[in-house]
Amino acid sequence: MNPSEGSYRGRLAPSPTGYLHLGHARTFWTAQQRARANQGTLILRNDDLDGARCRPEFVAAMLEDMRWFGLAWEEGPDCGGPHGPYAQSARHEIYRHALEQLRAGNFIYPCTCSRKDIQAASRAPHAAEDDEPIYPGTCRHRTMAVAGQRYSWRFRVPDGEVIGFKDVNLGPQQFVAGRDFGDFIVWRHDDVPAYQLACAVDDAAMGITEVVRGADLLMSTARQLLLYRALGLNPPGFYHCKLLLDETGKRLAKRHDALSLRALRQAGKSPELLR
């Protein structure tokens, strides 16, 4: 037997901020197929970082809809496993430790700018959400927090450096730090870790060998590669799926209620048909 056989570890990482739709199902189905094809293990992680937007009823619905669709996992919040806890809301200490490491390495700085991207930082910047203007660097010089002022922690990107990786599905990818994306939030001023940090830290801590996600997160992958390097972690492989678009060419989103797995099930559609 090939010694690497069975060592593949993939993950499904939904955020319980609404009902899952066909776009999620398609990415998750691909993730499951990748894991099966590699005799691997599939992990379910509940990405419930943002307490203000995540709700317990969505967690229950998420598990139910995923099972209905035909997804199965070997480790997760419902079945446990050696790399738990499997809900991000229970992993703050792990993120805090990573934050300290970034701080010790002088990779981050306290930023007092109050922009809406700080609120948005805990969710993955899907599609059009990722066209934020490059952060102008107002606080880049700061090394210490200003007494009495609220601040977030921002990662200082290496301006001009080409961040390249070979995507398993889409081939070679390249982004230029400081041009395609700028300094990004790793920790919100209200003490919530940002998606980019939590995701990279968890994928590494859970021993994920390949991340399957939508192509709208390609630039987040580039950001996360910088975090892996700064934290001295080994990055996984990446498989980005092409996006499902609606009839007007827009990415499917939670606003397409009719395409939620719930609605499709209620309309009598079978998982086989949807796949």
- Site residues for ligand GLU per CB under 6 A: 13-15, 47, 124, 199, 213, 217
| Contact partner, 35, from ligand GLU, Zn ion, none, Cβ < 5-8 Å per class | none
Alpha-carbon distances, residue 93 vs 11, 96, 100, 225 (angstroms): 21, 5, 11, 22
Task: For the CB of residue 194, give the shortest distance to ligand GLU in the complex, in Å.
Answer: 12
The Cα–Cα gap between 96 and 206 comes to 17
Nearest to 252 by CA among 23, 34, 95, 69: 23
Comparing CB distances to Zn ion, the nearer of 39 and 149 is 149
Q: Look up residue 194 and give its two tokens.
A: 């940002």
Comparing CB distances to Zn ion, the nearer of 31 and 111 is 111
Task: For the CB of residue 112, give the shortest distance to Zn ion in the complex, in Å.
Answer: 5
Comparing CB distances to ligand GLU, the nearer of 13 and 230 is 13
The Cα–Cα gap between 112 and 107 comes to 17
Comparing CB distances to ligand GLU, the nearer of 15 and 152 is 15
Task: For the CB of residue 113, give the shortest distance to Zn ion in the complex, in Å.
Answer: 3
Task: For the CB of residue 212, give the shortest distance to ligand GLU in the complex, in Å.
Answer: 8
List helix spans (H) across the chain.
Answer: 22-37, 56-69, 92-104, 116-120, 195-205, 218-231, 261-266, 271-274
Comparing CB distances to ligand GLU, the nearer of 57 and 247 is 57
Task: For the CB of residue 265, give the shortest distance to ligand GLU in the complex, in Å.
Answer: 20
| Contact partner, 49, from ligand GLU, Zn ion, none, Cβ < 5-8 Å per class | none
Q: Look up residue 224 and give its two tokens.
A: 């996360």
| Contact partner, 111, from Zn ion, ligand GLU, none, Cβ < 5-8 Å per class | Zn ion
| Contact partner, 138, from Zn ion, ligand GLU, none, Cβ < 5-8 Å per class | Zn ion
Alpha-carbon distances, residue 26 vs 31, 71, 116, 260, 262 (angstroms): 9, 11, 30, 12, 15
Task: For the CB of residue 52, give the shortest distance to ligand GLU in the complex, in Å.
Answer: 15
| Contact partner, 139, from Zn ion, ligand GLU, none, Cβ < 5-8 Å per class | Zn ion
Give the chain's length: 275
Residues found near Zn ion in the complex (CB under 5 A): 111, 113, 138-139
Question: 12: which strand partners?
Answer: 44
Task: For the CB of residue 154, give the shortest distance to Zn ion in the complex, in Å.
Answer: 7
Q: Look up residue 89 and give its two tokens.
A: 């809301």
| Contact partner, 253, from ligand GLU, Zn ion, none, Cβ < 5-8 Å per class | none
Comparing CB distances to ligand GLU, the nearer of 100 and 129 is 129
The Cα–Cα gap between 178 and 246 comes to 32
Assess contact for 59 and 48: CB atoms under 8 A. Answer: yes
What letter does residue 94 receive in the DSSP assignment?
A: H
| Contact partner, 15, from ligand GLU, Zn ion, none, Cβ < 5-8 Å per class | ligand GLU
